[in-house]
């Protein structure tokens, strides 16, 4: 029988069967999907065929989003499949989300053609100066064509985000502790899942959510996922990296060389735009960090290198 994977712990899955019942299912150790080397061949959002509690087949995915797994192998981890959008939850502080992390995530969404929105949470904590920082960040990403919104999940100030979620299947992602699960609970008005504290010592989340799960809204659905540290991405050619940074791609049309990597080529329009302030330095730095990974040819996802 066919069903939709709504929860994954990595070793077991809850599948909502077409008849409306939920079944706990497993996969055999040698289960693989052709063409994708991932640590989890089955992800939340997958449509599967189940026989006697075993997932025996995964239907072709409309889309999916992956990151490199934490080990240094070539293997990747599928965050979710068949989604309408990613809501990347970020915070200016407590914990601070780095622009490198944001840009790496957005670049991967571009590569996989999954729309991404940026949700700035914990605006209740911000001083005036930090509010200015927030405004500057929103202005930057708005100018690139990403939808942004600012919320306080803790106090239920969610108006901005509710509209974005309506009727969509949305993957919630972001660093640990940014408030993904708090947002989920606030949207439902009751405790659907556990939330955690921010460690005093490191000002980071404690990786409270350890599995991915889909929750159904009256229209649409939300997938809460474990927080991630480094955002590894996919294998890219050096010339390709610029394609996934919208403004860099656009500006690169004016570079002298078609395969310009915007590092030290003459007649580089991108470098010129950075100097003129037309491309944000933070974005260019993120671009260079991804490019650097290609150079070292070692996959992006080393746990501690990027937050």
- Which positions touch Mg ion (CB under 5 A)? 180-181, 208-209
Q: What is the DSSP letter of 186?
A: H
62-121 binders of ligand GTP (CB under 6 A): 121
Site string for ligand GTP, 148-187 (x = CB under 6 A): ----xxx---------------------xxxxxxx-----
217-246 binders of ligand GTP (CB under 6 A): 226-227
Residue 260 within binding range of Zn ion, rule CB under 5 A:
yes
Angle, CA 270 vertex, CA 264 and CA 271 arms, to 5°: 50
Residue 208 within binding range of ligand GTP, rule CB under 6 A:
yes
CB 195 within 8 A of CB 181: yes
Contact with Zn ion (CB under 5 A) among 92, 262, 274, 286: 262
Q: How far apart are CA 233 and CA 219, in angstroms?
A: 31
Q: How far apart are CA 114 and CA 92, in angstroms?
A: 24
Min dist CB 118 to Mg ion, Å, is 18
| Residue 255 near which of Mg ion, Zn ion, ligand GTP, none (CB within 5-8 Å, type-dependent) | Zn ion
Contact with Zn ion (CB under 5 A) among 158, 255, 279, 280: 255
- Residue 171's H or E segment, with its range, is strand 169-173
| Residue 176 near which of ligand GTP, Zn ion, Mg ion, none (CB within 5-8 Å, type-dependent) | ligand GTP
Min dist CB 192 to ligand GTP, Å, is 11
Residue 114 within binding range of Zn ion, rule CB under 5 A:
no
Contact with ligand GTP (CB under 6 A) among 124, 235, 278, 285: 124
Angle, CA 18 vertex, CA 34 and CA 50 arms, to 5°: 40
Nearer to Mg ion, 147 or 208 (CB): 208
Residue 205 within binding range of ligand GTP, rule CB under 6 A:
yes
Residue 48: strand, helix, or coil: strand
Nearer to ligand GTP, 68 or 283 (CB): 68
Q: How far apart are CA 305 and CA 72, in angstroms?
A: 12
Residue-by-residue DSSP string for 216-267: E-SSSEEEE----SS-------HHHHGGGSHHHHHHGGGSSSTT--SSS-TT
Cβ of 47: how many Cβ atoms within 10 Å?
18
CB 256 within 8 A of CB 266: yes
User: And the tokens for 141?
Assistant: 């990403």
List residues binding ligand GTP (CB under 6 A).
121-122, 124-125, 152-154, 176-182, 195-198, 205-209, 226-227
List residues binding Zn ion (CB under 5 A).
255, 260, 262, 268, 270
């Amino acid at each position: 029988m066919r069903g939709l994977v709504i929860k994954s712990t990595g070793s077991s899955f809850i599948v909502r069967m077409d008849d409306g019942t939920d079944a706990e299912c497993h996969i055999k150790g040698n289960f693989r999907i052709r063409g994708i080397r991932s640590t989890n061949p089955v992800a939340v959002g997958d449509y599967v065929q189940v026989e006697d509690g075993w997932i025996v087949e995964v239907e072709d995915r409309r889309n999916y989003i992956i990151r490199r797994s934490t080990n240094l192998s070539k293997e990747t981890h599928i965050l979710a499949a068949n989604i309408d959008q990613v809501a990347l939850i970020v915070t200016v502080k407590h914990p601070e989300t780095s622009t490198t992390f944001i840009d790496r995530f957005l670049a991967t969404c571009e590569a996989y053609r999954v729309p991404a929105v940026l949700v700035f949470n914990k605006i209740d904590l911000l001083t005036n100066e930090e509010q200015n920082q927030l405004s500057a960040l929103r202005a930057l990403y708005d100018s690139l064509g990403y939808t942004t919104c600012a919320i306080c999940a803790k106090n239920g100030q969610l108006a901005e985000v509710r509209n974005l979620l309506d009727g969509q299947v949305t993957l919630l992602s972001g660093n640990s502790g940014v408030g993904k699960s708090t947002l989920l609970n606030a949207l439902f008005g009751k405790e659907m899942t556990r939330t955690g504290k921010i460690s005093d010592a490191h000002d980071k989340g404690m990786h409270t959510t350890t599995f991915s799960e889909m929750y159904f809204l009256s229209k649409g659905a939300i997938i809460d996922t474990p927080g991630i540290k480094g955002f590894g991405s996919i294998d890219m050619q050096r010339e390709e990296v610029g394609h996934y940074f919208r403004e860099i791609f656009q500006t690169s049309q004016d570079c002298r060389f078609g395969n310009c990597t915007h590092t030290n080529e003459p007649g580089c329009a991108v470098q010129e735009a950075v100097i003129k302030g037309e491309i944000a330095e933070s974005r260019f730095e993120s671009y260079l960090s991804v490019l650097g990974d290609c150079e070292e040819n070692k996959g992006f996802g080393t746990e501690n290198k990027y937050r």
